[in-house]
Structure formats: C-alpha cells, structure tokens
Amino acid sequence: MTEETPGFDEKPDVPSGATPDDAEPKAASPEGAVPGGDAAAQIAGLTAQLDQVRKALEERTADLQRLQAEFQNYRRRVERDRITVKEIAIANLLTELLPVLDDIGRARDHGELVGGFKSVAESLETVAAKMGLQQFGKEGEPFDPTIHEALMHSYAPDVTETTCVAILQPGYRFGERTIRPARVAVAEPQPGAQTVKAEEATEAADDKESGGPDEG
C-alpha cells in the first residue's frame, strides 16, 4: 500500500458560500466612466429642457410687456378722461356765470359799477379768468362765422371785407372750447365799391406805366 502524495490535482479550499467565479479577480473599470451613447442622450435631454425653459421665459416676458403696455394705456386713458370731465364741469359752471358777467358789463358801460358792487363784480371776473375764461370780440376785426354770430347786417363803403362793426355781446372761450360766440353787427362792402376800386387801381397802374397823366 503506497502513500498518496498531495499533488496538483487537489483543488484549493474555497470559502463557504462563495462560487468559484468569485475567487477570480475582476478588472476594475475606470471610475465615473459612462458609455458614450448614454452621455449623448443626457446632453440632448438637457438641451431640450433648456430650450423649453428659454421659450417659457420668452413667453412670460412678452406677457409682462403686453400687460405693462396695457396698464400704461389704461393710465393715460383714465387721466385723459379725468381732465375731460374736469374741463366739462368748469365749462358748464362758467356758462352759468355768463349772464352775470353780461350784467356786470352793462353796468360798467352805464357807469353803475360803483361801491361794493364794483368790488364784488371785479372779484368774480378775476376768479372766472383764473379758471380759464377768456373774453373775445373787438370792433373792426374780420367776421369769422366759427366764433361770431351776426345779429345785424349793413353795408359800408370803407370796409373791404365783412367786418364786425359793433360788439353787441362779447364771446367767451375756455381753452380751445368756445362757450359762446361773440354776437356782433357786421358790415359788408358797398355793392359796386369793389368794382370802382378795382378800376381806380387799374387806371393808377396805367398812369404809372405811361409816366403819369398828359400835361396840357
């Protein structure tokens, strides 16, 4: 009987619960390495998300700008309406005062504006002027149907166009608004006067060109 000598045929001891594959060392992969395809997909996804965020930001910015423009338009419209309402209210008040101002003017023309009545009347006129009331209408100015109302009509040889020859009642305006036209008497050129003047002007021009009238 021969003794058996341990040889290479014997398998090394393997820890309990381990498989033979576990005993073989594995090659370590580089730390943090990501397959190329996965990295490209992640970059594409992040780029798409960034584009979405930029698009959303642009939309919100446009909405904000539109809201700001609408708010500015609203403020301007409210301010314009407020000014218009104020002007209408002042114009209505001044319109109610016109008969009183007419009485003051007639009293002044007749020399009856004296004493305490004169002081009150002048104070009222000053307040009306501060509120923007302006009186207009003067004798000798050309007749303008947009601001004058002709109550009397006549002819005059010394006028070359329709002219206000008398102010029967002054006109009033508030800003660019005419509260009441000036009521006036107008005079037009005498019929035929323009023809005579034109002939005289023609004769004078002819005399000037010919060296003057012939001397006898």
Q: CA 45 to CA 121: how far, in whole Å?
A: 85
The model's pTM: 0.58
Distance of CA 58 to the CA centre of its chain: 29
- 155: Cβ contacts below 8 Å, ≥ 6 apart: 187, 188, 189, 190, 191
Reduce the DSSP state of residue 35 to 3 states and report it. Answer: coil
204 or 42, which is more confident? 42
- Confidence grade of residue 197 (pLDDT, cut at 50, 70, 90): low
Query: What is the rounded distance in angstroms from the CA atom of residue 90 to the CA atom of residue 82?
Result: 12
9 to each of 4, 5, 12, 22, how far by Cα in Å?
12, 10, 9, 21
CB atoms within 10 A of CB 172: 24
**Overall average pLDDT of the 173-180 stretch:** 93
pLDDT level of residue 87 (50, 70, 90 thresholds):
very high
Local structure of 145: helix, strand or coil: coil
Asked if 184 and 148 touch (Cβ cutoff 8 Å), the reply is yes
CATH level 2 (architecture), domain 133-203: Roll (2.30)
DSSP symbol at 185: E
Amino acid in position 175: G
Q: 107-134, pLDDT tens digit by residue?
A: 999 999 888 899 999 999 999 999 999 9
pLDDT of residue 40: 84
Q: Which helix (H) or strand (E) holds 96?
A: helix 36-109
Collapsing DSSP to helix, strand or coil, 76 comes out as helix
Higher pLDDT, 95 or 6: 95
Report DSSP state, residue 160: S
* Per-domain residue ranges of the chain: 44-131, 133-203
